[in-house]
């Protein structure tokens, strides 16, 4: 799935994001507002992973949830 879909449907995708990264708070999800860079930075900060690892996790998330629209 393209990130543009996730960003454009952020309210609907929040539950999926929270299931993937359960340490995120509603306030953080509000601040991320569908922006990939903000999500990556927040994952890095909360989970203590590198920026590269955060991006890898996001790619896995995108691929896993590619059927969300169907």
Which pLDDT value is given to residue 64? 82
| Low-confidence residues of the chain: pLDDT under 50 | 69-70
Domains and CATH numbers, the chain: 3-64 (1.10.1470.10)
Q: Ramachandran region of residue 24, left (φ > 0), alpha (ψ -120 to 50) or beta?
A: beta
- Give me the residue label for tokens 């929270």: 18
What's the whole-model pTM score? 0.88
Our CA angle for 62, 49, 5, nearest 5°, is 20
């Amino acid at each position: 799935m393209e990130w543009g879909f996730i960003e454009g449907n952020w309210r609907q995708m929040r539950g999926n994001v929270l299931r993937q990264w359960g340490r995120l708070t509603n306030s953080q999800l509000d601040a991320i507002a569908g922006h990939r860079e903000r999500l990556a930075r927040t994952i890095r900060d909360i989970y203590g992973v590198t920026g590269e690892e955060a991006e890898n996790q996001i790619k896995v998330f995108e691929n896993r949830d590619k059927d969300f629209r169907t």
